[in-house]
């Protein structure tokens, strides 16, 4: 079977991980990486033995590039996605789909017209804990969903590093919004939210947002997202989710039950990542690898990806409603 030629656009925090995984996956070939940061770009290309590009259009013009991971800042998602779809390239776009519904629709229209495989990086659906929980929910094991309650806390270095010009809900909370919608399998009809911004407000982002959602069939959900925890906590991200059904209960806790903790005199307690993108012997695995493998399989077998563009748009709609509610101090009703 022909190898799938892949390009990675943006090689910052998450794009460097996409590139590293593609470089080691069978059945695909990492053709090139694009980034405007020359130093980072050349270091990555040398390490992974692929071609450097500073203009992504030159990368996606190539006939040997069949698919791309777009790992650019949020503001660049719409332009790059439309360009890649118009050139007939299969796309894995990092979350969020976009930060306005108009931009979401521009992307989805371009994708629909091109017939390419398109998916959005809602990574946690590939984390075995959430994937197992989903199987229980869909098998009817906990009955009808009554409530989904999620909280995700980032470190303050992430707030300062990634917070400028974005919302904690787009960077952090949207992961749980996507999971909540996936588990509830129902349409959100009303969103209310509050925010705190005493620490990071000067960057144009929030310290924390707490949002609640009412679903059409009666269930309720809440997503809390923050990024002001002291880095010395050592956990990277800590998160929890409870799913309450009328016949059962599921609890996911990424704070207390990490399974591995390390103490060093210099760094204190560390809780290394075992699920998202753990690295062993120079090979990166975890949920991100599972997501990239899935993307390649969908291209090869022409099957629909686990995360559709429409689902990614719904998550954006809930986040936008939460941010509007938090700003105006009133609940926001979502259209059908
Ligand atoms: N799935 C996840 O768990 C996860 C985690 C982190 C980030 N993300 C998402 O991934 C996206 C990227 O986030 P990040 O943290 O990697 O950001 P980042 O700032 O670390 O990386 C972005 C890279 O894009 C490059 N870039 C910017 N404009 C460019 C252009 N026009 N052409 C080429 N390169 C350009 C920058 O130089 C930088 O290297 C965001 O949408 C973010 O929400 C997802």
Q: Are residues 153 and 260 in the same domain?
A: yes
Q: Are residues 225 and 146 in the same domain?
A: yes
Q: Are residues 194 and 327 in the same domain?
A: yes
Q: Is the residue at 306 inside a domain? A: no
Helix (H) or strand (E) holding 25: none
Q: Are residues 325 and 219 in the same domain?
A: yes
Count of domains observed in the chain: 2
Q: Are residues 100 and 182 in the same domain?
A: no
Query: Which residues contact ligand 1 via a Cβ below 6 A?
Result: 10-15, 34-37, 40, 56, 71-74, 76, 94-95, 121, 123, 162, 171
167 Cα to the center of ligand 1, angstroms: 15
Q: Are residues 223 and 319 in the same domain?
A: yes
Q: Is the residue at 293 inside a domain? A: no
Closest residue CA from atom 18 of ligand 1: 12
Q: What is the CATH number of the domain that holds 205?
A: 3.30.360.10
Closest residue CA from atom 15 of ligand 1: 13
Q: Is the residue at 294 inside a domain? A: no
User: Are 181 and 314 within 8 A, CB to CB?
Assistant: yes
Q: Are residues 328 and 249 in the same domain?
A: yes
Which residues have C-beta within 8 Å of that of residue 255, sequence separation ≥ 6?
235, 238, 239, 240
Q: Are residues 248 and 162 in the same domain?
A: yes
Q: Are residues 186 and 83 in the same domain?
A: no
User: Are 7 and 33 within 8 A, CB to CB?
Assistant: yes
Exposed (0-12), middle (13-18) or buried (19+): which is 299, by Cβ within 10 Å? Answer: buried
Q: Is the pTM of this model over 0.85?
A: yes
214 Cα to the center of ligand 1, angstroms: 32
Residue 74 Cα: closest atom of ligand 1 = 41
Domain range for 219: 125-276+314-333
Ordered per-residue pLDDT tens for the chain, 336 residues: 689 999 999 999 999 999 999 999 999 999 999 999 999 999 999 999 999 999 999 999 999 999 999 999 999 999 999 999 999 999 999 999 999 999 999 999 999 989 899 999 999 999 999 999 999 999 999 999 999 999 999 999 999 999 998 999 999 999 999 999 999 999 999 999 999 999 999 999 999 999 999 999 999 999 999 999 998 887 777 899 999 999 999 999 887 556 788 888 988 888 888 889 999 888 999 999 999 999 999 999 999 999 999 999 999 999 999 999 999 999 999 975
Residues 158 and 260: their CA atoms lie apart, in Å, by: 22
């Amino acid at each position: 079977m022909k190898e799938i030629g892949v390009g990675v656009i943006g090689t910052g925090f998450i794009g460097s991980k996409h590139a590293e995984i593609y470089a080691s996956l069978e059945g695909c070939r990492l053709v090139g990486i694009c980034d405007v940061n020359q130093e980072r770009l050349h270091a990555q290309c040398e390490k992974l033995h692929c071609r450097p590009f500073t203009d992504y259009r030159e990368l996606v013009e190539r006939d040997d590039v069949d698919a791309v991971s777009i790992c650019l800042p949020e503001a660049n998602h719409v332009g790059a996605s439309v360009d890649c779809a118009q050139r007939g390239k299969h796309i894995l776009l990092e979350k969020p789909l976009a930060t306005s519904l108009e931009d979401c629709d521009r992307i989805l229209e371009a994708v629909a017209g091109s017939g390419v495989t398109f998916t959005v990086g809602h990574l946690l659906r590939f984390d075995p804990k959430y994937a197992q929980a989903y199987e229980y929910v869909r098998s009817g094991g906990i009955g009808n969903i009554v409530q989904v309650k999620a909280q995700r806390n980032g470190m303050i270095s992430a707030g300062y590093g990634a917070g400028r010009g974005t919302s904690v809900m787009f960077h952090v909370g949207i992961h749980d919004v996507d999971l909540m919608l996936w588990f509830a399998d129902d349409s959100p009809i009303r969103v209310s939210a509050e925010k705190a911004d005493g620490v990071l407000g000067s960057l144009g982002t929030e310290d924390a947002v707490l949002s609640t959602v009412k679903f059409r069939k009666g269930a309720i959900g809440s997503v809390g997202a923050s990024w002001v925890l002291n880095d010395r906590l050592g956990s990277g991200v800590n998160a929890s989710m409870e799913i309450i059904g009328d016949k059962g209960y599921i609890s996911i806790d990424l704070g207390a039950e990490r399974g591995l903790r390390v103490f060093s005199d210099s760094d204190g307690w560390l809780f290394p990542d075992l699920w998202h993108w753990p690295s062993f012997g120079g090979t990166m695995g975890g949920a991100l690898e599972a997501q990239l493998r899935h993307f390649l399989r969908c291209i090869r077998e022409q099957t629909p990806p686990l995360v559709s563009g429409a689902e990614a748009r719904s998550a954006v709609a809930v986040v936008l409603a939460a941010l509007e509610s938090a700003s105006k101090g009133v609940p926001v009703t979502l259209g059908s």
